[in-house]
């Protein structure tokens, strides 16, 4: 078969022999020359790694902001006019903004390096008929790869030989449990999680051995196809960036139109010369531009990043902080995020009883209940023997370490060890009392495991496989005929709850001395006295020798239970109006069971159903469905796009390579830091260091706080700029001299305004922030209510500055002194209004309201020192054109500030009454 035809084959639908033939390969492997020729043809078995951005490029990226560009434009104007101090201040601020963003991104990258771990595997292959260890990059299609426990699969393989092979594929498919591999081909349209005859690049062998022929390398692997899909996904702007961009454009247009109108009007009326009007226009444009806003937004986001880091969330890109606050839907993985990633026995069914097992994790905490009442396991002989069978027919170990209980081995077997400990059994003592003499390992062909001990053989496995080996069942009355219908009903009932069901059985082995004397055993037989060692050892276990005369002990139902904190977090999100949707590679029944425990409902869509839907049908379906099972990477990406098409702001969590395209497309991608792959982390905006859904809920709360604080900062900054513009505009219309010079405006905007508004970034979450629904993504940055507040405060600032400016001139003060008073009045108005802004709707006229924000008073103290220097230091007087101010003038300035504080509070009260009436 030609190379091109081989590339297009659906390998999982081919027999192993057909795959070998198509690749012109044999089980003995390729020859060295043949492998070298294919390496030249196919290329190395590598995925293209993204080139990291240099610090220089990341620094330049910080200037990709409309407000920053407007600010640089203002700097260019001042430079042309020869106002070098103004230019220096503007350039300094823009560089400071860029450095803050650069440093913060660098901190996030450094934090990620501490939790990243990537294996670059070698590969064990057959070449020239000999086993060799080569670099995985040198693998080519047709190579024969040998797999053993602990290996990471180096390429996509079509398996042709295996022994009890189980592979953990969660990073690729989302499947929670290791997959038992088989050799039979599967349907051509099966999803990767159902392709049992394949081993995929990047997955991990957890048990057994196998051999496979390489059918795909590099970008042709499932991993590579996801990488290519990731490259095609377009990122979308965050809501804040879109709104800030729109706001900045509108503000720029408004400032330009106002400046041009004033210049043309002033010159056209003949009252002013063009050169004088040009300076007035420059003053108005500088006054109107909120030069400090980019710095405030950046710093507020950076503070949010630091707060999130304290709550186990590392943010890689600053805008993601605010976006979390506007999230309307969280799409989350199941295993390890909503669940503990620790299997636990929750139900035990015997012939007479259905026991409920409490506790989660691998520690022996949690009791056993029957009919809602705690019981002593030792009083139930069948339960005790079932627990013993699960402990001895087991290759796992659960040990207590300094950091808690830790599992060594298969998670399902670990759950059985924990069940035994909850019944009072200990692994070490039982192994000593009943040492293992032989074992028949679990295999996909027979679907059970058996171990032989001196007095018994224990059997554990899939219910249908174990039932076929049983003729009796254990009960309180002793052993009796097997009631197949009863056990099939129990199996179906447990499986319907999303539990993984295992059956356990035993068969007694007669020993020398057993017939002389002994205590009756739990199975009604006899045991040899402890002083008399058995002389018959059981060995040579095989499928054929087991027979069909086992005694069924019962069934156990096992599941990876939801985290308790995840349950609370999901409930909190729902209270906050945020929909939580679980998207997993697990089977629908398991996903539904976990979803119901989390309060997500029962409606479920599978990957096959998603595949059959059009985009319009999927958009309608995602509105009412919260559980999606057996989802492939393409399905996850479609789900995110369908939600976004419906106007939702989507956060997507994930840990595997299969999650990366959806993580990149989502409004906020959230990767897992502990078990997440490098690809997932690179695609995401945020990384959780504890892999816990509850941390996402905390991050959403912090995001809402950040947005609210940014909004307060904008609402705080605009009236100051408006007051300066208003003062200049009114003075011009009345024929007065300019009350504030451009360089003085820059001092106010860049020094005092920024210093004071920084305190708003430290405000804590507003009470009840997670009791409100998410804000409408279409909501403008400034609502009508906030626009009204800006207008009111602008008028108050304008009036206060002009009144005191004219007061000083009428009193005979110099123009420099009058301007200095006007500037200080604007700053005092800023201080008063800062106290108002602690709460935008409720009164702050209380001790807590006025003095409760410590950062605000620190900022006020700093600004007062700066203003005294601005007013009285000779070298600053020469720079900014200021003059000494009398104590009486300071008194009038203080009264003006108090008036602004009280009038804004009166406006709040009036608006509150109007809202109640409305």
Active site residue 333: yes
- Reading phi first (left if > 0) and then psi (alpha if -120 to 50, else beta), residue 208 is in left
Q: Which token pair is 482?
A: 């097997």
Which residues, listed in sequence order, are joined to residue 506 by a DSSP beta bridge?
458, 551
- From residue 127, how far is each of 140, 162, 211, 487, 734 by CA, in Å? 11, 19, 13, 51, 94
Q: For the chain, percent helix, then strand, then coil, each to nearest 5? A: 50, 15, 30
Distance from C-alpha of 686 to C-alpha of 699, rounded to nearest angstrom:
10
Q: What are phi and psi of 184, to 5 degrees?
A: -70, 140
Contact present, 629 and 176 (Cβ < 8 Å): no
CA atoms of 779 and 798, how far apart (whole Å):
29
Q: DSSP string of 736-753?
A: PPPSS-HHHHHHIIIIIH
Give phi and psi for 437, each to the nearest 5. -105, -25
Q: Token pair for residue 887?
A: 């104590």
User: Buried (b) or exposed (e) across 388-418, using 16+ Cβ within 10 A?
Assistant: bbbbbbbebebeeeeeebebeebbbbbbbbb
**Pick the catalytic residue: 138, 333, 410, 626?**
333
Strands (E), 427-573: 438-440, 448-452, 456-461, 470-475, 478-481, 500-508, 550-559
CA dihedral 662, 667, 668, 669 (to 10 degrees): 10
Q: Is 339 helix (H, G, I), strand (E, B) or coil?
A: strand
674 Cβ partners below 8 Å, 6+ apart? Answer: 115, 336, 689, 690, 691
User: For residue 421, what are its two tokens?
Assistant: 């400990």
E strand map for 386-511:
397-401, 404-408, 438-440, 448-452, 456-461, 470-475, 478-481, 500-508
**Dist CA 559 CA 552 (whole Å):** 22
Q: Could you tell me if 797 and 722 are in contact, meaning their C-beta atoms sit under 8 angstroms apart?
A: yes
Tell me how far apart the alpha carbons of residues 908 and 842 are, in angstroms, rounded to a whole number.
7
Q: Which residues pair with 824 in a beta bridge?
A: none
Strands 579-583 and 478-481, sheet pairing: unpaired
Rounded Cα gap, residues 289 and 561, in angstroms? 55
Alpha helices, DSSP H only, in 47-160?
A: 55-61, 66-80, 84-115
Q: Give the single-character DSSP code of 62.
A: T
Instruction: Judge whether 29 and 160 are in contact, CB under 8 Å.
Output: no
In contact, 456 and 508? CB cutoff 8 Å: yes
CB burial of 188-224 (b: ≥16 within 10 Å; e: otherwise) equals eebbbbbbbbbbbbbbbbbbbebbbbbbbbbbbbbbb
Q: How far apart are CA 88 and CA 76, in angstroms?
A: 10
Distance between CA 814 and CA 81 in Å, rounded?
Answer: 25
Which of 596, 649, 597, 603 has the alpha carbon at shortest distance from 622? 603
List C-alpha distances in Å: 140 to 124, 154, 183, 215, 567. Answer: 13, 11, 21, 8, 47
The distance between the two most distant Cα atoms of the chain, rounded to a whole number of Å, is 129
| β 668-672/686-688 pair status | parallel
Please state the φ and ψ torsions of residue 572, each to the nearest 5 degrees: -65, -40
Could you give the residue numbers annotated as active site? 333
């Amino acid at each position: 078969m030609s190379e091109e035809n081989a590339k297009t084959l659906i390998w999982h639908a081919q027999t192993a022999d057909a795959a070998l033939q198509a690749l012109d390969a044999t089980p003995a492997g390729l020859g060295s020359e043949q492998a070298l020729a294919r390496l030249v043809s196919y290329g190395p078995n590598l995925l293209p790694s993204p080139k990291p951005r240099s610090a220089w490029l990341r620094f330049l990226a910080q200037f990709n902001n409309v407000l920053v560009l407007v600010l640089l434009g203002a700097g260019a104007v001042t430079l042309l006019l020869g106002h070098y101090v103004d230019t220096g201040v503007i350039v300094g601020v823009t560089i400071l903004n860029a450095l803050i963003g650069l440093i913060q991104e660098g901190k996030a990258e450094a934090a990620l390096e501490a939790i990243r771990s990537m294996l670059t595997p070698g590969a064990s292959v057959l070449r020239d008929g000999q086993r060799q260890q080569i670099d995985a990059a040198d693998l080519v299609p047709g190579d024969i790869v040998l797999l053993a426990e602990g290996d990471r699969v180096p390429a996509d393989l079509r398996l042709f030989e295996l022994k009890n092979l189980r592979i953990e594929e969660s990073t690729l498919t989302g499947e929670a449990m290791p997959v038992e591999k088989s050799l039979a081909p599967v349907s051509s349209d099966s999803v990767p999680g159902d392709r049992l005859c394949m081993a995929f690049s990047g997955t991990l062998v957890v048990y057994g051995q196998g051999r496979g022929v390489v059918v795909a390398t590099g970008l042709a692997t499932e991993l590579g196809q996801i990488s290519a899909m990731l490259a095609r996904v377009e990122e979308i702007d965050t809501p804040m960036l879109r709104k800030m961009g729109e706001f900045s454009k509108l503000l720029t247009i408004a400032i330009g139109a106002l400046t041009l109108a004033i210049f043309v009007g002033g010159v056209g009326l003949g009252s002013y010369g063009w050169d004088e009007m040009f300076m007035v226009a420059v003053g108005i444009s500088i006054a109107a531009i909120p030069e400090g806003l980019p710095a405030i937004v950046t710093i507020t986001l950076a503070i949010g990043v630091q707060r999130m880091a304290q709550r186990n969330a590392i943010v890689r890109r600053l805008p993601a902080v605010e976006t979390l606050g506007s999230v309307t839907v969280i799409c989350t993985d199941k295993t390890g995020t909503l669940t503990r990633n620790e299997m636990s026995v929750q139900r035990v069914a015997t012939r007479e009883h259905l026991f409920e097992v409490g506790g989660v994790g691998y520690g022996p905490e949690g009791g056993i209940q029957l009919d809602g009442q705690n019981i002593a396991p030792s009083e139930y002989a069948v339960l005790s023997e079932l627990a013993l069978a699960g402990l001895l027919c087991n290759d796992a170990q659960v040990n207590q370490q300094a950091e808690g209980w830790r599992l060594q081995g298969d998670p399902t077997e670990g759950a059985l060890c924990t069940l035994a400990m909850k019944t009072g059994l200990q692994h070490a003592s039982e192994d000593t009392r009943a040492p293992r003499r032989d074992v028949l390992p679990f295999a996909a062909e027979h679907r059970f495991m058996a171990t032989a001990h001196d007095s018994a053989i224990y059997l554990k496995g899939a219910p249908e496989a174990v039932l076929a080996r049983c003729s009796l069942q254990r009960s309180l009355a002793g052993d009796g005929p097997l009631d197949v219908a009863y056990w099939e009903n129990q199996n179906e009932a447990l499986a319907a709850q999303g539990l993984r069901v295992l059956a356990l059985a035993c068969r007694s082995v007669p020993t020398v001395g057993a017939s002389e004397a002994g205590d009756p055993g739990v199975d009604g037989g006899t045991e040899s006295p402890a002083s008399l060692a058995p002389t018959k050892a059981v060995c040579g276990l095989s499928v054929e020798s087991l027979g069909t005369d086992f005694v069924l002990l019962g069934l156990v139902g096992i599941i990876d239970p939801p985290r308790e904190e995840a349950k609370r977090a999901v409930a909190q999100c729902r209270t906050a109006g945020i929909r939580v949707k679980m998207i997993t590679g697990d089977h629908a029944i398991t996903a539904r069971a976990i979803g119901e425990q989390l309060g997500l409902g029962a409606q479920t869509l599978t990957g096959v159903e998603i595949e059959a839907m059009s985009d319009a049908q999927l958009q309608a379906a995602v509105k009412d469905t919260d559980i999606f099972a057996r989802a492939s990477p393409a399905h996850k990406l479609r789900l995110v796009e369908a939600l976004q098409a419906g106007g939702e702001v989507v956060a997507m969590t994930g840990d595997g390579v299969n999650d990366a395209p959806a993580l990149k497309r989502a409004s906020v991608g959230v990767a897992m830091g502990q078990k997440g792959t490098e690809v997932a982390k690179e695609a995401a905006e945020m990384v959780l260091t504890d892999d816990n859904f509850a941390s996402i809920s905390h991050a959403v709360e912090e995001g809402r706080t950040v947005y609210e604080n940014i909004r307060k900062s904008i609402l705080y900054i605009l009236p100051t700029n408006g007051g300066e513009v208003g003062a200049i505009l009114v003075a011009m219309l009345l024929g007065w001299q300019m009350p504030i010079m451009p360089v003085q405006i820059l001092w106010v905007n860049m020094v005092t305004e920024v210093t004071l508004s920084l305190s708003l970034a430290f405000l804590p979450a507003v009470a009840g922030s997670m009791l409100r629904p998410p804000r409408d993504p279409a909501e403008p940055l400034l609502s009508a209510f906030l626009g009204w507040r800006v207008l009111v405060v602008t008028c108050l600032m304008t009036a206060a500055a002009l009144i005191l400016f004219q007061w000083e001139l009428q009193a005979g003060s110099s123009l420099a002194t009058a301007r200095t008073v006007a500037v200080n009045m604007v700053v005092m108005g800023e201080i008063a209004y800062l106290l108002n802004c602690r709460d935008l709707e409720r009164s702050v006229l209380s001790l807590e309201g006025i003095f409760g924000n410590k950062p605000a008073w620190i900022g006020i103290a700093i600004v007062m020192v700066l203003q005294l220097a601005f007013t009285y230091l000779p070298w600053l007087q020469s720079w900014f054109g200021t003059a000494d101010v009398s104590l009486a003038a300071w008194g009038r300035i203080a009264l003006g500030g108090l008036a602004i504080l009280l009038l804004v509070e009166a406006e709040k009260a009036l608006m509150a009454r109007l809202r109640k009436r409305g």
